[in-house]
Structures are given as structure tokens and as C-alpha cells.
Amino acid sequence: MRRSRADLAALSPEAAERRRRHRLLQIRIVVVLTALLGLNYVTWRWLFSVNWDAWWIGVPLVLAETYSLIDSLLFGLGMWRLRERGEPPPAPPDLTVDVFIATYNEPIDLVMTTARAAKAITYPHRTWVLDDGNRPEMRAAAEAEGIGWLTRSADWVGMPRHAKAGNLNNALLNTDGEFMLILDADQIPMPEILDRTLGYFTDEKMALVQTPQWFVNVPDDDPLGSQAPLFYGPIQQGKDGWNSAFFCGSNAVIRREALMQLGISRYVQEVETGVERALRTARSVVRRSRAALGAEEHEVRAALDTILADIERARRDLARDVPLFDVTFAFQQRVAAVRASLVAEDLATLQEDLAVLAELEEIAEDPDIHLGSMDAGELGQVLARDLSPLAAVEAVETLVRAIDVDRGGEAQAIMPLATISVTEDMATCMRLHTMGWHSAYHDEVLAHGLAPEDLQTMLVQRLRWAQGTVQVMFRENPLVQKGLTLAQRLMYFATMWSYLSGFAAIVYIGAPVVYLMIGVLPVQALSTEFFLRLIPFLVVNQLLFWLVADGRPTWRGQQYSLALFPVWIKSFTSAFGNVFLGRPLDFAVTPKTKQEPTGPAWHLVRPQLWAIGLLLAAMVVGTIRILAGQANTAGALFNMVWVAFDLLIFSVIIKAARYRGFEPPEPSSDVQSDPPTDIAAPAREGAT
């Protein structure tokens, strides 16, 4: 069993360090074995074991196995530097801290319970309710107890709101604490939360300290898989070892300087990107106009060549980090001089061209870059036509002038928290890491939250998390982000990669069904060599999970990684449609109150129920085929074991659909007269 924090605290520093080193050595040995056995198995599968005659199932299966191997390798890399920080440094005195409680439409009583607990935090601070619903009754309740209340300013009217990220960005520009503790409306902090986390910020490059999310309304069997003990433990500790522990949206302390530096840096970068794209487009416009000139128009050609040279000079200056204002001002002056030397040959054509250019809106698909008022289709029309020389020069000037330095399409020019995803946390933290900031994961439960108590709410929550992660992968793939170390790139990518498991799950469900029903084997043969390569890999892989879990329950998480395959697939397809096709994402805030069911929520898990039915049918058909002598007994039994394992995985869906919410245990008769206490207290040690 995993030792509690009290047991570990009782060890001497030397004993605790010996324990950490011994455990890490064990983990590293098993990681190496897992990698060797996995590579040996998958390489052999590709070279010698794929049934190419049944490629339609053989290739998907080996691809799914390759996906799983990469997943295991990424997991092992994370565990290689698993970091158990132990006792935190003492909090420095006299820091200024703002505690932000983000809320939209949660019940006022729920928000105020969190706000009162936040106000009672022992380290000096200011508490703010960030009311995105702008409710007068919420304001009155907060101010009646001396708690600050903030809502969005009038600048946000008619502008993109960016959900929680926008709420926090608004608060950042209306407060001034050196540090901020961010809490969701249902995450009740413990009084010592700041005393246990601010000490890490003695490292001047520390930007973020994340603590676990732990829930008081979850029964021991955790039917909805809410507690996530593997993630809020070994996975975050492993990322911490590579300086890539990331922000999870709540229960985290962040340095204001880091966020503001990020906001300013991103603003400058996005404006520079806009200028660069404008210059590239201007070059295309001028080249097209130049190509349309007659052979005798030497002076006009020379003028356009001058502009092309000026465009290249401006791009070189940007690459050398010459100040943006200096680059654009000098460029505009040179273009204006060329324009003054040209005479319009066709005033009607010029007026027509300028009328189109006046409607310029944007040339980039990047939602953070705004260039006037022309859409991409209209820009294409400008590029496709032969502009008169003077019109081409005017187009160049208009393109550069139209760079939206003031971010007129946004409520704030500076947006420290990332707005590229429905989950602002991961993208923000990754950007901080690209700038050289540090993060830490403190593995101690310091806030008690409320988990979803019905299947519908849980599915909404998981879909939003997955969609946000996949959005970040599509928009800012960590594998190509400058400033990240190789390990950091892989740690972020590992989380994104895990959400592709839905596609592999379909194959793992379908392969045994295909064999049991029609006798098609996706491998060359279920030979002794096949089992000698596969089984050791599976055993050692599970041993790695057991070691890193250190007594934490991980089975429920393994179940949901397969059982929620429709959610993972939808997250990928919807995020792809949003990022590349401009489709709405249908974002929904996770409800904070229980949704009263009228019966088992079978309609929410129809794909899983179809999968269960298919697996059961395969068992029946396989049994009949064995009795009729139409199937190899060993092969059929192996696939039946596989089907039984899949059914065991999917059994959690039955439990989840029938779940009726948390029922707190009845107090025993010998403690009924005791004063009320924090309901999370009895579980606190076990959770840490």
C-alpha cells in the first residue's frame, strides 16, 4: 500500500531520500524492460506477423499496437525522472497575493462557500469573485462579507469572450497582486494552501505551482472515474521532473510577472506575424503587377523593383529584431516616395482596386491577427487580378497600415492566458515554458472540490478537456515549438497523443470480433513465438503501472481510457473541424449541480452498448464455431479471453449509466454529538 503523507513525514530526510532513489531505480529498470520488449514485439509484428491477406484488419491492428507502444514509451519517458518534492520550502513573508474564484452561473451558495474558505486562507491576501455572469445578487453576497467582486468591463461588449480565459484576463488587468491563486467555484481551499506553495517561488524563474484536484463527493468505487489518482500523482510528478508540469485550470498559484510577460510577448509576436504576412502578400501583389507591364514601361518596372527590394529589406530587419515601429515607418516612407513618382494610367481601375482594398479585413486564418476588413476570399480576388502599378503600390501601403496594433477585434490588446483553446490551462503553461519559465507540481491535496455526479455532466467535462487539448495540438503542436526542450515537447505531446486512443480502441474491439465471427486472423498465426513476444511485454507494462502508482488505484482510469472511445473520437473530429474548417465547437461549461436523471442514462452510451452487444455476440458465435469444429480452439479461446477483458473494461459504463450520485455515509452514533467538521478531513491523508 502507498504510504500516507504522515508516514513519509515520519522518515528522516536521509531515509526519505533513500526511498525515493530506490523507487526511481526500480521504475527505470522496468521502463527499460518495457521499451525493449515492446520494440521487440512491434518490430516483429511489422516484419513477420501481419496477415497481409487480411490487410483490412491486420494493418489496423498493428497500427493500433504501434500507437500503444508509442504511448508506453512516452509514459516511460515521463516516469524516468519522476520527482517527489517532499516538504515544500517555507513561504516568504510580505508577498502580495490575489485569490481568484472564477464563476459563471454556479449557485451563489456554492460560490460563497468557496469564497469564505478563500477569505480564511492564513497567508495575507485579497479574495476576488470573478463573476462572468455579472449577477447583482452575486455582487451583493460577496461585498456583504468583505470579498471583492469583479466582472468584465464594458470593453468586452460585442467582443469575443474566450470563456474562462477571458474572465481571468479581465481580472489580471484589474488587480495587481504579485501572485494569484486560481480556484474554480467548487474548489474549497484549505487555510494553508498559500503557506504550502509560495515557497517554491523563491526560484525567480518559477511561474506556476500546481496542486492536485481532489473531490469530496466521490464514493470509494469512483464509478465516473473522477479522482484521476494516476494523473494527479505520478504523471504530473514525471512531467515535473522534466520541468513540464502543467496548469490544470484550478488549485494553482501563478506569478503575475510571468503571465504579463507572456501576454506582452505574444502581443508583439502576433503583430510581427501580421506584418510579416502583410509583407509577403504585398510582394505577391507587386510581382503580379510587374508581370503585367509592357516591355517599354522601364520606369514603372524600376519603381516596382524598388518596392520589392524594400519589402525584402523590411523582412530582413524584422528577422534581426529591429523595432517593429522603425521597420514599418521606414518602409512606409520609402513606399510613399515611390508612389509619389508614379502617375495613375487608369483612374477607373485605380478606384475599383481601392474600393476592394478599403474592405480589407484579414489575410490570415489566425484569429489573433486582424488586418483591416477584407476576408480571405476577397484577398484572393485582389491577388488574382492584374493591378495597375499605382494600385499595387496603394495595396502595399494599405496592407501594412491595416495591421491591427490595437487589437480592435478584442476587448484587450494583451491576453496573458491563451485563448486558442476551450481549455486555457495547457496552452498557457506551454507558452510559459517556451519562454524559459519553470513550473512545479506539489503533490498535496490543498483544496476539496465537487466532481460530476451524473454521467451526462461527466461526459461534457471529458469532452471539453479532450477538445481543448486537441485544439492546442493542431494550433501549437509542441513538437515544433521553439524554446521547449526535447523532453518538454514530448511531455506535452504525450498528453495530446493519449486522446487519440479512441481510434485504437475501435480496432481492439473489432479484431477479436472478426476472428470469432468469421475466422479471419489479423496475424500470421497464433504461434508460440507470438505469445512469447506479446505476453512478457504486457506483463512488464502492467508492472510499470503498478510501480509508479505506488498504491494509488489506477484500474478505473484504465477502464475509461478505452470505454470513452466515442468521446475521444468526437474530440478529435470536432477540434479538427473547428481549427481547420471553421466549424463551431459547441463549447459547454461543465454544470456544477447534479442533473436529475429519470432513469439509467443508456442513451448517452449507445456506442458502448453496441460494442458490448457485438462482443457478447462474438462470444456466442465463437462458442458455436468451436463446437461445430469450424474454429481453431486455441485461437478462439485466446480471442475469447480478449473479449472478456474488453467486457470487463466496458462494465464501468453500466455502472456509470446507473449511478445516482454520491450518498454521504451516515454518521456513527458515537459521533453524532460532535461539532460539524470538514467532510473531506477523514479522507485527507489517504488522498495525499
Domains defined for the chain, CATH in brackets: 33-79+500-563+596-658 (no CATH), 97-254+415-452 (3.90.550.10), 263-401 (no CATH)
Residue 99 CA to residue 190 CA, distance in Å, equals 13
3-state secondary structure of 279: helix
pLDDT of residue 345: 46
Could you tell me the three cell numbers for 152? 468584465
Instruction: Give CA separation, 478 vs 466, 493, 495, in Å.
Output: 16, 6, 11
| Of the listed ranges 201-205, 317-321, 469-473, the one predicted with least confidence | 317-321
Average of per-residue pLDDT across 44-67: 96
pLDDT of residue 666: 67
**Residue 74 scores a pLDDT above 80:** yes
Q: Which of 93, 91, 115 is nearest to 103 (CA)?
A: 115
Q: Which residue is it, cell 484536484?
A: 213
Report which listed range, 304-308, 585-589, 644-648, 684-688, is most confident. Answer: 644-648
Residue 576 CA to residue 476 CA, distance in Å, equals 13
pLDDT band at residue 373, thresholds of 50, 70 and 90?
Answer: very low
3-state secondary structure 325-365: HHHHHHHHHHHHHHHHHCCCCCHHHHHHHHHHHCCCCCCCC
Terminal CA-CA length for the chain? 13
pLDDT of residue 675: 36
pLDDT tens for residues 162-172? Answer: 989 999 999 99
Average of per-residue pLDDT across 505-515: 96
- 390, with CB counted inside 10 A (0-12, 13-18, 19+), is buried
pLDDT band at residue 625, thresholds of 50, 70 and 90?
Answer: very high
* Cα 296 from chain centre: 59
pLDDT above 70 coverage of the chain, percent: 85
Residue 391 CA to residue 289 CA, distance in Å, equals 9
Please give the model's pTM, rounded to 2 decimal places: 0.83
pLDDT of residue 194: 98
Average of per-residue pLDDT across 571-585: 91
pLDDT of residue 346: 45
Residue 102 CA to residue 114 CA, distance in Å, equals 10
Listed in sequence order, the DSSP H helices in 98-207 are 108-119, 136-144, 163-172
Residue 304 CA to residue 293 CA, distance in Å, equals 10
pLDDT of residue 251: 97
pLDDT of residue 348: 45
**Residue 444 scores a pLDDT above 80:** yes
Q: Which of 604, 641, 281, 210 is nearest to 433 (CA)?
A: 210
For the four alpha carbons of 620, 622, 624 and 626, in that order, the dihedral sign comes to: negative
Residues in contact with 247: Cβ distance below 8 Å, sequence separation at least 6, in sequence order: 208, 210, 254, 425, 426, 428, 429, 439
Could you tell me the three cell numbers for 374? 477584407
Average of per-residue pLDDT across 657-683: 56
**Residue 57 scores a pLDDT above 80:** yes
- 70, with CB counted inside 10 A (0-12, 13-18, 19+), is middle
Who has greater pLDDT, 225 or 674?
225
Report which listed range, 119-123, 287-291, 302-306, 389-393, is most confident. Answer: 119-123
Residue 505 CA to residue 511 CA, distance in Å, equals 10
Instruction: Give helix 55-80 / helix 501-518 axis angle, nearest 10°.
Output: 140
Q: Which of 206, 207, 236, 208 is nearest to 494 (CA)?
A: 236
Instruction: Characterize 497-534 residue by residue with b for buried, 16 or more Cβ atoms within 10 angstroms of its Cβ, and e for exposed.
Output: bbbbbbebbbbbbbbbbbbbbeeebbbbebeeebeebb
Average of per-residue pLDDT across 214-224: 93
| Of the listed ranges 167-176, 255-264, 293-302, the one predicted with least confidence | 293-302
**Residue 177 scores a pLDDT above 90:** yes
Amino acid 34 reads: T
Average of per-residue pLDDT across 499-505: 95
Mean pLDDT of all residues in the chain? 86
| Of the listed ranges 51-60, 190-199, 400-409, 573-582, the one predicted with least confidence | 400-409
Residues in contact with 389: Cβ distance below 8 Å, sequence separation at least 6, in sequence order: 289, 293, 297, 300, 303, 304, 342, 345
Average of per-residue pLDDT across 585-598: 58
Beta bridge partners of 214: 448
pLDDT band at residue 113, thresholds of 50, 70 and 90?
Answer: very high
Residue 508 CA to residue 60 CA, distance in Å, equals 9
pLDDT tens for residues 519-574? Answer: 999 999 889 999 999 999 999 999 999 999 988 988 998 999 999 999 999 999 99
Residues in contact with 514: Cβ distance below 8 Å, sequence separation at least 6, in sequence order: 57, 520, 522
For the four alpha carbons of 611, 613, 619 and 623, in that order, the dihedral sign comes to: negative
Amino acid 613 reads: G
Instruction: Give CA separation, 575 vs 109, 581, 599, in Å.
Output: 35, 9, 31
Who has greater pLDDT, 8 or 665?
665
Amino acid 669 reads: S
